[in-house]
Structure 1
């Protein structure tokens, strides 16, 4: 990948979009992962105001430390970068009480509350974005956003712009190295940070990003019968998740009303 050209292109795209939208810059949720690390760096490189927010919800200390190591690094390199922490754990606990959640959760309840964490963060980003005249900058990559739909609808999927949504995860890691992100971000194991017990993306999905990327690049031109062994296993995982995620990937369906019905 021609990293410098890709970097320059995304930075200019972000800058042009902000200027066209007449906003001051971007707000980004920083998780301690490589995607938010790359996106926040690219936003900082625009020279526009870049607000980084770390939003812990029952978060693991290593994730918090990694996020702050990255944010402090960007602050030292870019004068247009500001960083803050908003502890959302109290708000999350209040929702637990309000919804009368029992300790012994069913699987659907567990997933619903995992997604609630992401939606609380989206709400927070839009609040501070509106206060500061900033757009919410998404951090989803191509596999997550358009492959298997591995994100929360109206959570981390609720954004104004998606600068790396056309990049595969392996390409995001390549950019992280070329942008000289702190080592802990470059080497971070992908996780969505939505569960009390640590769950990596690979554990949740059942496949690695390189495996998924191989299938996504061939998807639509090959079927399960074209694969065998591990490749076939990953194809079936990708195919199942891709089909289940169409309500995320496609625009919201609108019920069209025949024009002739509008007249009495």
Structure 2
């Protein structure tokens, strides 16, 4: 029974998923400022769900690679409160989302690496998280690249476009070979012991360094140009992702064009 409980989906995660689904239903039928608030709840909920799935993917891959301790830690329950670094894994990414409308990745679950044999397994554990974001992005953009948007309200299209943007940014940023991010985790097992020890002190600052670099206009422009290119290939136009972000940030003045398209009060 203890083993089953350690792998049972947490009521906390189910509650978050239920709120997200309810907010999505509200986005579908809402208008005006109610639409903007519903978009905020839907996108935030979807982002937290994706963070939970991201960490679950790390833990599940580690479980099948030899680290049975992830079950006892509660990582397989999808409960964000069970993460070793709850602030880095959930709160900080949500804060980045609210402040800047960007999907910065969070910290990983704690994996007992000494239990795992083989460099390839170590790399797969690190890669599992970003691959989850890729899969999430494909699901969100499916209505776009399948041409199944007939009858879909504009506000819901905008919300999906913004959720997709968050997943693409998270996948791309996590894939960077920067200490502390999953991209480096994929590469690290193949480095020499000397190289790993030299880089190890910088791991806690990798995410901060990425955030600082994104503040530079030139870097920001190049990065989001790449994001827009990926989204465009998936059928999501800049209008959908941009207006989705504009609706999400309902506490700021709305872009008149987005407000007109989505029927939102521009005086909010």
Tell me if TM exceeds 0.5: no
Structure with greater helix percent: 2
Greater RCO (CA < 8 Å, at least 6 residues apart): 2
